Chain A
Amino acid sequence: MNTSNAKIAELELTEPILHDELVERCKRGDSRAYSELYQKYSKAMYNTSLRIVNHTGDAEDVMQEAFTDAFRSLEDFHYKSTFGAWLKRIVINKSINQLRKRKMDLIDIDKTNIGHLPDEDGPDENEVALKVEDIKKAVGFLPNGYRTVLTLYLFEGYDQEEIAEILQVSHATVRTQYMRAKQKLLQYLKQGVS
């Protein structure tokens, strides 16, 4: 199963993207296809959004907006990427906008949390025990800016150039932000997240 998934992933990188039958059915107005498309992607998209906005209500708003927008603009989707990648990009952009709406909030957290933590010498990665649940919690403790860069790189698989483009910042900023975010995450993990 895993190997076949990996194969599919490889194919997606090299092969031209084939027309997605489910998407085509939606374009034709098949209402069941809409439901199937939602079922297929909703969970992954919800988790993606939740990691960025860090708030279930906001993530739900993002989901609703993103899927509505995607369904309404299906005719603008031309298979330049997979449908999943296209939709994810919509979800991410909306999540970031949601965060920016709460900008005051973001700055406060940044100041209070970064201040007393050294950015340079964090714990050695090899000394920290890694557990899925702990990492999820620790990511939630990260300040908004760090968390966004870290999730886009670590979980969503964007490279640093792409993240720089999404966030409209320089590549160097993304690199340092990611390194700091990661140090902080490891620190939380070492301290133990409660």
Chain B
Amino acid sequence: MNSRLEQFVRDHREEFDGEEPDKKIWEKILQDVDPGKKKQAPLVRIDWRRWSAAAAVVLLVAGAVWYISSRAGKTSPNIVRTAPATVTPGAGDKQPAPLAQGQPTTRDSARTSKEPTLAEIRPKENKESASQATELDNSMNEEMYHYARLVEIKHKQLKTIEKDEPLLYRQFASDVNKLDSVYHNLQSQLPQNPNREQLLEAMLQNLQLQMGLLNHQLDIIKQINHSKKTEYEKAYKTT
């Protein structure tokens, strides 16, 4: 096969790509794909270093929150309530996270999630009446109870991988435990801390972080299972 034409095309290859696509195409693709929705798109290969970096960021944030709130004053280690999300498997269904003394317990998560956010209920004045303070405590405790329950549930889900992926489980559990210990620390300061509101907010944030972390971990497990499955299918097909 002679090659003058082939050589010419090779030498001028880029000039042959001179046509411009209509700009509207991208808008249509954007509508179809909606990358915003793909935020939870599964990663097929998980970069462990990247994941550890993310965990480190989470811990740093938690640490900062703890530090800020701890500056408000040092306190005696008088524990108000025990941890809602201990890793011990002993925490059974019937015994959810214990609440602060005298709090009404509610399992209605729909109701608790509709609680006004902290920003909305926070009084502008620093010195507030006693009734306002209790009200705030109540709603925050409810919210915290809600999160504590969720964290507990997620923890149980995570536990199911302990058999299959003991190493991964240990790593995951240690990440969560670090956050949990910060939570305990905050909790121990609660009784004596003059800035109760800030501390409660920090505790709440901590629980939210724990939940976020657990969600990520569960996502990763899902992805691992998914890629295992596809790999298996591929191997099965090719052999």
Using a CB–CB distance below 8 Å, which chain A residues touch chain B?
26-31, 34-35, 38, 42-44, 46-48, 50-51, 56, 59-60, 63-64, 67-68, 71-72, 74-76, 78, 125-126, 130, 132, 135-136, 154-155, 179, 182, 185-186
B12, B20, B21: the one within 8 Å of A132 (CB): B12
Is A60 within 8 A of B5, CB to CB?
no
Most buried by B among A34, A179, A186: A34
A29, A179, A185: the one within 8 Å of B35 (CB): A29
Is B29 within 8 A of A44, CB to CB?
no
Is B5 within 8 A of A130, CB to CB?
yes
Is A125 within 8 A of B5, CB to CB?
yes
Is B9 within 8 A of A31, CB to CB?
no
Is A71 within 8 A of B33, CB to CB?
yes
Interface of A is mostly: helix
Query: Can you identify 29 A-B contacts, CB atoms within 8 angstroms?
Result: A28-B41, A29-B35, A29-B36, A29-B40, A31-B36, A35-B30, A42-B25, A46-B20, A47-B16, A47-B19, A48-B17, A50-B19, A51-B16, A56-B22, A59-B21, A60-B22, A63-B25, A71-B29, A76-B44, A78-B44, A125-B4, A130-B5, A132-B15, A132-B16, A135-B8, A154-B9, A155-B9, A155-B13, A155-B16
* Inter-chain contacts of A74 with B (CB < 8 A): 41
Task: Write the nearest CB–CB distance from A192 to chain B, whole angstroms.
Answer: 16
**Distance, CA A47 to CA B19, complexed state (A):** 6
**Distance, CA A182 to CA B5, complexed state (A):** 9
* Inter-chain contacts of A48 with B (CB < 8 A): 17
Is A34 within 8 A of B18, CB to CB?
no
B38 CB within 8 Å of chain A = yes
* Inter-chain contacts of B28 with A (CB < 8 A): 64
Is B43 within 8 A of A28, CB to CB?
yes
Closest A residue, CB atoms, query B6: A154
* Inter-chain contacts of B17 with A (CB < 8 A): 43-44, 47-48
**Distance, CA A37 to CA B33, complexed state (A):** 13
Task: Write the nearest CB–CB distance from B86 to chain A, whole angstroms.
Answer: 32
* Inter-chain contacts of B20 with A (CB < 8 A): 43, 46
B134 CB within 8 Å of chain A = no
Task: Write the nearest CB–CB distance from A159 to chain B, whole angstroms.
Answer: 12
Is A31 within 8 A of B35, CB to CB?
yes
**Distance, CA A56 to CA B33, complexed state (A):** 22
Interface of B is mostly: helix
> Interface residue tally of chain B, by bracket?
20 to 34
B233 CB within 8 Å of chain A = no
* Inter-chain contacts of A27 with B (CB < 8 A): 41, 43-44
Is A130 within 8 A of B33, CB to CB?
no
Is A136 within 8 A of B5, CB to CB?
no
B49 CB within 8 Å of chain A = no
**Distance, CA A82 to CA B22, complexed state (A):** 25
* Inter-chain contacts of A68 with B (CB < 8 A): 29, 32-33
Instruction: Please report which residues of chain B, range 3-62, place their CB below 8 angstroms from some CB of chain A when the two chains form the complex.
Output: 4-6, 8-9, 12-13, 15-22, 25-26, 28-30, 32-33, 35-36, 38-44
**Distance, CA A71 to CA B18, complexed state (A):** 25
Task: Write the nearest CB–CB distance from A22 to chain B, whole angstroms.
Answer: 13
* Inter-chain contacts of A47 with B (CB < 8 A): 16-19
Closest A residue, CB atoms, query B21: A46
Is B44 within 8 A of A60, CB to CB?
no
* Inter-chain contacts of B33 with A (CB < 8 A): 34, 67-68, 71-72
* Inter-chain contacts of B40 with A (CB < 8 A): 29
Is A75 within 8 A of B35, CB to CB?
no
**Distance, CA A147 to CA B16, complexed state (A):** 15
Task: Write the nearest CB–CB distance from B85 to chain A, whole angstroms.
Answer: 28
**Distance, CA A28 to CA B5, complexed state (A):** 44
B2 CB within 8 Å of chain A = yes
* Inter-chain contacts of B15 with A (CB < 8 A): 132
B1 CB within 8 Å of chain A = yes
